[in-house]
Amino acid sequence: MRKVNPMALVERARHNGYAVGAFNMHNPETTQALIHAAKNSNSPVFLQVGRAIVPHMGLEEAFRMTRRELENSDSEAVIHLDHGTYDEVFLALKLGFDSIMFDGSHLSFDDNVEATRHITAVAHSFGVPVEAELGKIPDAGTDVNWADYYTSVEEAEEFVAKTGVDLLAISVGVFHGIPPTQPLPLDIERIERIRDAVGIPLVLHGASGVPLDDLRAAIGAGVHKLNADTDLRHAFRRGIEQTWALGDRQLEEAMAEGLRLMTQATIQKMNEFGCAGMATPVNDMVMS
């Protein structure tokens, strides 16, 4: 298992004009799919312990499961806490997560700044980078007045200056999940203005369902970590449903087909994001 510097992955992406894929796991098989995809496409990857798996499995077990699956892998993989609460962040640091995201977007601006600044100081003392979110990212199907959701350029500049975060997730027209209708184009100009104001790599959550041209424009504008889950989860589900549609089958057979289709879907994302082929050779990394 490699010891990976999360910010080195993102800074390399920024330097070379692509985005690192960040994907969520839900069980051992979906974790294996992401690791297989990273190996087969020679891609760096963020393995995200997120808001679906934590209620299902618990933060500690989800982390241990991910580490177990990575034990015999030489993939350039980061174990990342996604949308962590205040308490989860400190547990994640204790457990040994490689990077964390604190989601204080539900707080007032001042409270978000205060909480994020404290978390960042503690995380940095552990050598762990911090991603934070400013603006609100709606769930697919939500009736959205985007003026209430977009990240403010001025607030982003102030937020980063006061908190010292390493990565900033922004709201520029993305949803969590796939919207039922054609999504509006991303606000690329806003991404560029935020990039110029904050000077750190930007993150887009909700990359599933976003047109490829928009994703590539976002990368060019300063987004170098792209989060996607729904498309991959649907691929896994499709493998299970197609297997069971053949008649009585063992659960293991259905799960194996789900794993295979999710691996394929993840490789496709890695190619689209530009990170396929961009992993650092194992001999150049420090082993742990």
**Residues designated catalytic:** 82
Question: Using CB atoms within 10 A of its CB, is residue 217 exposed (0-12), middle (13-18) or buried (19+)?
Answer: middle
What is the end-to-end Cα distance of the chain in Å, rounded?
A: 6
- What region does 252 belong to: left with phi over 0, alpha with psi -120 to 50, or beta? alpha
Nearest to 223 by CA among 13, 43, 5: 13
CB-CB contact of 207 with 175 (8 Å) = no
φ and ψ at residue 24, rounded to 5 degrees:
-95, 145
Q: How far apart are CA 62 and CA 240, in angstroms?
A: 22
Question: Tokens 């978390």 map to which residue?
Answer: 119
